Every structure is written in C-alpha cells, then in structure tokens.
Amino acid sequence: MTPVTLHDKTFDSYLSEQTIKERVRELAAQISKDYAGNKGKQSVLFIGILNGAFMFASDLFKELSIDAEISFIKLASYSGTKSTGKVVTAIGLDQDLFGRDIIIIEDIVDTGKTLHEFLPKLQHSQPASLRIATLLHKPEATQYELTLDYVGFAIPNKFVVGYGLDYDGLGRNLREIYQLSGNE
C-alpha cells in the first residue's frame, strides 16, 4: 500500500485490513470459547479504552457469540508520538463491576503504564474476573508487569497509526495499521 503522511510524519503500511479482520475474528472466537459456560450467569462486561480502541472494540464485539455488554472509559497518556507518563481519566464507568467478568479492550499496550494505573481501580470494585484483550502489544517497550490474556499482534517498538490509533488526532479512520517510516 501507499505510505500516508499525517502532519509532518510519513507512515508505511504494516498490517492490512484483511489481516486485522482475521485476527479479530480469531480473538473473538477464543473469548467466546473461554466464556461459553457463562450462559445463565451475568453477561461478560467489555470495557473499551477510548479513543484508540473504539474500532477494535466494535469489530471484536460484533464477532462474539456470548452474552456480553460493552462500556467505555477514556484514559490517555500520549501526546504526539510519545507517552506523557501521566494517565488522565476523562470519562468514567457507571456500571457496577462487583462479581462481573470484565474484559478490558485496549488498542495497544506499550509501556503498560495506563493499564498499570487503571487496573487497581477496577480490582477495587471486586469483579469476578478481570482480563485484558489488546490488538497490539510492544513487548520491547513494556515496563510494567501485566497479564495480557488476548493479544492480536506483538509488534516492534515503532509508532503506529490507523484502525483507531492516531498521531495528534489524525489517522484513526485508516482501515489498516501503518508504522512510522524508517526514514523518520
């Protein structure tokens, strides 16, 4: 595919739309299998982390074959292409999490700081279980110990955009994922 330019940076094609769709279907099938025994119990609650995870959350949710609910929370730690090191909560949850099976939906886990700060807040609500589904994981960048239960793709420590991920607001609408050009 043709490279894209967002603001002052060029990005090269990295994961195609078809590759992403196939992997999302596989993740949904695995989650559905893992929670197939929940029939008759309270439905699984998915919590999508905005803004980046909205596309992944939508596509994943459509592929599930289990009883499920979805909610969103806005957490942010990026400015430009770098993490700010500060996690900001802009929109909170209004569901009771006590005794619920919860799956967090993330677009990308790099340093892990966002989830590291957010998970104790969720655990305080005493859910029955708490798992993490992330489309992308940068193992080389991870600085916090996290259990990632469902991982779409392990990727190198390069900045990526598309399929919900942005560079200063642009690129979220791209159907595939692009990585920062090697020339940048």
Give the residue numbers spanning the domain of 123. Answer: 20-33+40-77+86-155
Asked whether residue 107 is assigned to any structural domain, the reply reads yes
pLDDT for residue 126 is more than 60? yes
Three-state SS sequence of 4-40: EEECCEEEEEEECHHHHHHHHHHHHHHHHHHCHHHCC
Q: Of 152, 156, 164, nearest to 23 (Cα)?
A: 152
Asked whether residue 163 is assigned to any structural domain, the reply reads no
Asked whether residue 121 is assigned to any structural domain, the reply reads yes
Sign (positive/negative) of CA torsion 86, 146, 118, 137? positive
- pLDDT, tens only, 97-121: 999 999 999 999 999 988 998 898 8
- Is 110 designated active site? yes
Distance CA 98, CA 115 (A): 19
pLDDT of residue 137: 98
CATH classification at residue 118: 3.40.50.2020
- How many residues are present in the chain? 184
Asked whether residue 174 is assigned to any structural domain, the reply reads no
> Which one is catalytic: 59, 101, 107, 110?
110
- pLDDT, tens only, 138-159: 999 999 999 999 999 999 999 9
Asked whether residue 61 is assigned to any structural domain, the reply reads yes
Q: Per the structure, how many domains does the chain have?
A: 1
pLDDT for residue 85 is more than 70? no
pLDDT for residue 174 is more than 80? yes
Q: Which tokens belong to 34?
A: 């893992």
Asked whether residue 8 is assigned to any structural domain, the reply reads no
Q: Which pTM was predicted?
A: 0.90
